[in-house]
Amino acid sequence: MRDWKLAVNGAFMNDREFLDDYYARLCRAARVDGALGEGIIQLRDAWRKTGKAGGRVLLFGNGGSAAICAHIAIDLSKNAGIPAMSFDVAAVTCLANDYGHENWMRSAIDIWATPADSVVVISSSGKSLNTIAAAARARERKLSVATLTGMAADNPLRALGTPSLWCDSDSYNIVETSHQFWLMAAVDLLIGSPVYSASKPLRTKPTS
């Protein structure tokens, strides 16, 4: 059996060549430099401010982005000492059933967000209507809003975040992997180390 695949650029590659090209694309997309690096630092600072004010970080996403939200919420809460929450299937289906899928995130902000909270909204395309509605409502509530997007540079969600972390890739998996990497980097900036025991909650106090 031949193991030839058609690469995105139209060139035929075998499996090894495909993976090498795939990894190179990920490294280019996820590279932390320039404005992107400053954005991750800005996100860390927003989370630190939230913790010092006694607030929580509320994280929103769909599908794979929702899974990233759950991962970062537990890392922020347990390892970085910043209370955070994502939304499980019961909350999502309840709010979507009552208010519509496009409005469930906005409704969650109305129900749970306090003035001390900050919001993270993730969408690979930056076009999901519920994420746009969530970021807009959070801004209306004068909350700190960070967005993570990919695909088109002019996607509507990208314009609603400060910071706004954008991944220059059309691949969903590369965009989502980059988003998770950047968010975990912000968590580890809070902690001050990329190496620590995950079995012992650090409960570090946010510092100025």
- Residue pLDDT, tens place only, 90-125: 999 999 999 999 999 999 999 999 999 999 999 999
DSSP 138-207: HHHTT-EEEEEEESSTT-GGGGG-SSEEEE--S-HHHHHHHHHHHHHHHHHHHHT-S---TTS---PPP-
Contact criterion met (CB below 8 Å) for 69 and 122: yes
Q: Does residue 1 carry a pLDDT above 80?
A: no
User: How many CB atoms are located within 10 Å of the residue 186 CB?
Assistant: 27
R_g of the chain computed on alpha carbons = 18
pLDDT, tens digit (0-9, with 9 covering 90-100), for 60-73: 999 999 999 999 99
Domain 32-191 matching CATH 3.40.50.10490: the answer reads yes
Q: Does residue 132 carry a pLDDT above 70?
A: yes
Q: Does residue 15 carry a pLDDT above 60?
A: yes
Q: What is the mean pLDDT of residues 158-180?
A: 97
Mean pLDDT of all residues in the chain?
Answer: 92
pLDDT, tens digit (0-9, with 9 covering 90-100), for 136-146: 999 999 999 99
pLDDT, tens digit (0-9, with 9 covering 90-100), for 27-63: 999 999 999 999 999 999 999 999 999 999 999 999 9
**Domain boundaries along the sequence of the chain:** 1-30, 32-191
pTM score of the predicted model: 0.91
pLDDT at 13: 82
Q: Given its phi and psi angles, is residue 23 left (phi above 0), alpha (psi -120 to 50 degrees) or beta?
A: alpha
Q: What is the mean pLDDT of residues 150-166?
A: 98
User: What amino acid is encoded at 196 in this protein?
Assistant: Y
Select the more confidently predicted residue: 10 or 117.
Answer: 117
Q: What is the mean pLDDT of residues 152-158?
A: 98
